[in-house]
Amino acid sequence: MRLFSGLSAFPLTPTDAAGHLQADVLGRFLERIQAAGADSIGLLGSTGGYAYLSREARQHAVRVAVECVGGKIPIIVGVGALRTDEAETLARDAKAAGADGLLLAPMSYTPLTDEEVFQHFSAVAETGGLPLCIYNNPSTTKFTFSDDMIARLAKLPNVAAVKMPLPANGDFSGEMERLREMTPGGFAIGYSGDWGATDALLAGCDAWYSVVAGLLPAPAMALARAAQAGDGSEAARINDAFQPLWDLFRTFGSFRVMYVMADLLGLARIEPPRPILPLPQEARSRVGEALQSLKS
């Protein structure tokens, strides 16, 4: 199977209040993902809180992941940073530690132009020397990749995939048809936004970049495989069980909800990095009810 295809599970990066990695907890998350049969691990993505971590913590996380599952399941590492030279350094670090691929978002404080983003990606893709996925995440970066920009980047050496947000009009087939006409053969098109994954997979996308699979890899795998097989009724049945969780993801942000899930599942009692605050008790109760719906 190609690197940027199937179900890619994105775990939290568990740290203490000072930002130091809790390696044993990360290993626990990764072992569950591998045991469930996910197609790849998306380490240090948005769910992994990469923007809140030091270079040292990120290096440590990659080393732990490679030691835990390296060679058994591919590891895609997020290398986003505000400065191009910092992103290049993170890409080198990831490759040296044994990562299989890279994921790059155009982080910024000052809004970036198309040319600035192009030059940023060109530099990091060349330096990293690994297959790289474009991270189109306008809800956090405030930069939206046009079809033309994706097509331009797809011509660069090492740029092999794009991670797309859910289309506002819900037209996955139309969007993928446009992009596939504009990009080289084999360029992989995947989606994030877990509540739209069923429709994206049934429409024929290459990958589901999944938040929930970071903690619930087995039911996420069941959903992914049903949709990939074209079994719409089974995929819809599983997706219906996830619906209360999808509602919470949209209401509170999946990043916050995942920390509650880790606790309620008995996997780890960790808190998000400040200034992100833990969810209040009322929301925690709703997360517990959503998890129960998946067990029923």
d(CA 291, CA 243): 10
Measuring CA to CA, how many Å separate 133 from each of 40, 106, 213, 292?
13, 12, 19, 35
pLDDT grade for 237, boundaries at 50, 70 and 90: very high
d(CA 78, CA 45): 5
pLDDT digit string, tens, across residues 114-137: 999 999 999 999 999 999 999 999
**What structural domains and CATH numbers belong to the chain?**
6-231 (3.20.20.70)
Per DSSP bridges, beta strands 75-78 and 40-43 are parallel
Residue 125: what residue type? A
Looking at the DSSP bridge assignments, the partners of residue 164 are 191
pLDDT grade for 46, boundaries at 50, 70 and 90: very high
Q: Determine if residue 110 is labeled as part of a ligand binding site.
A: no
Concerning whether 135 is annotated as a catalytic residue, the answer is yes
Q: Is the dihedral of CA 91, 97, 103, 107 positive or negative?
A: negative
User: What is the average per-residue pLDDT within 194-218?
Assistant: 98
Whether pLDDT at 279 is above 90: yes
What does pTM read for this prediction? 0.97
DSSP annotation string for 201-249: HHTT-SEEEESGGGT-HHHHHHHHHHHHTT-HHHHHHHHHHHHHHHHHH
Percent of the chain at pLDDT above 90? 97
pLDDT grade for 224, boundaries at 50, 70 and 90: very high
| Average pLDDT value over all residues in the chain | 97
Spot the catalytic one: 50, 52, 109, 135.
135
pLDDT grade for 70, boundaries at 50, 70 and 90: confident
Spot the catalytic one: 50, 52, 95, 163.
163
pLDDT grade for 1, boundaries at 50, 70 and 90: low
What is residue 296's predicted lDDT score, i.e. its pLDDT?
A: 62
